Homo-oligomer: A and B are copies of this chain.
Amino acid sequence: MIKVIIIGSGNVAQHLINAFQTTQNSGHPIELVQVYARNKETLLHLVAPNKITTNYSDLQEAHLYILAVSDDALPEVSNALPFSNRLVAHTSGSAPITVLNDRNKRAVFYPLQTFTKNKAITFKTIPICLETENSADFETVKQIASLLSDQAIAINSQQRKALHVAAVFANNFTNHLYQLANAICQEHQVPFGILEPLIQETAQKIQHITPQQAQTGPAKRKDATTIEAHLEFLTDQNQQNIYTLLTQSIQKNGKKL
């Protein structure tokens, strides 16, 4: 039986807790033996009270400790662990593996997904990006990640950094474009929901063809009349700036300036 302990009570921690408990309950040889939270109440809806500790000195023995806390808190939390030479992983996309205190054997266990509170998610399809300081530990994290997901992948710190930046474009910035589209719809009394099939199809297209092949629209076909009409239609300077910059970028076709 592989024993795992999760440190943290935020969004990622809760989704991981849920994934581990689901995996455990379906009979896999894994056990979430304990969870650490500064405030016990935040996890009572998810975890049995006797499995939650608010005290680092009460932490039990486990094969892997997963620190699902904010990047800023990683040094402090990894310093606070009252043991050494055990396997400790963080879940951050951007923090290097070396942010962890080197008293313990360091690792990264980064699930590449956007987690929303109160929205269940199937871990099976989420890529989990793995890295270990010592190659001897890789099999352990790989084995654990493989129980949660079909995509347990070795990703080094530099690649992970690239993935994290790319994810900001593909997720955070994309979602912001949805928000701008929503604002434009609201301003002109059109329900944003009309755009939903388009948004889903845009995302699904790139499962079959590259984004470059999928590119359409006035910028791509250098339709100056429509571009000008759109810029005139927009009443917001910020929206105009974004329209202009992204139009130029499409016309450069991703080429460097």
Contact = CB atoms under 8 A, between A and B. Distances in A.
Interface of A: 71-72, 94, 112-114, 116, 119, 121, 125-127, 129, 151, 153, 155, 158-159, 161-185, 187-190, 192, 194-212, 214-220, 223, 225-226, 229-230, 233-234, 236-238, 241-243, 245-246, 248-250, 252, 254, 256-257
A181 to B, nearest CB: 4
Contacts of A212: 179, 182
B215 A179 contact: yes
B205 A151 contact: no
Contacts of A176: 211, 215, 219, 246, 249-250
A194 to B, nearest CB: 5
B254 A249 contact: no
A108 to B, nearest CB: 14
Nearest to A185: B166
Q: Is the interface of A mostly helix, strand, loop or mixed?
A: helix
Contacts of A129: 194
A127 B163 contact: no
A211 B126 contact: no
Given A200-B204, A256-B237, A94 B229 contact: yes
Contacts of A208: 119
28 contacts: A94-B230, A112-B195, A114-B198, A114-B202, A116-B214, A119-B209, A155-B190, A159-B189, A159-B190, A163-B185, A163-B195, A166-B181, A166-B184, A170-B177, A170-B199, A172-B215, A172-B216, A172-B219, A175-B216, A179-B215, A179-B254, A181-B211, A183-B254, A237-B256, A237-B257, A238-B249, A242-B245, A242-B249
Contact of A127 (B197, B229, B248): B197
Contacts of A257: 236-238
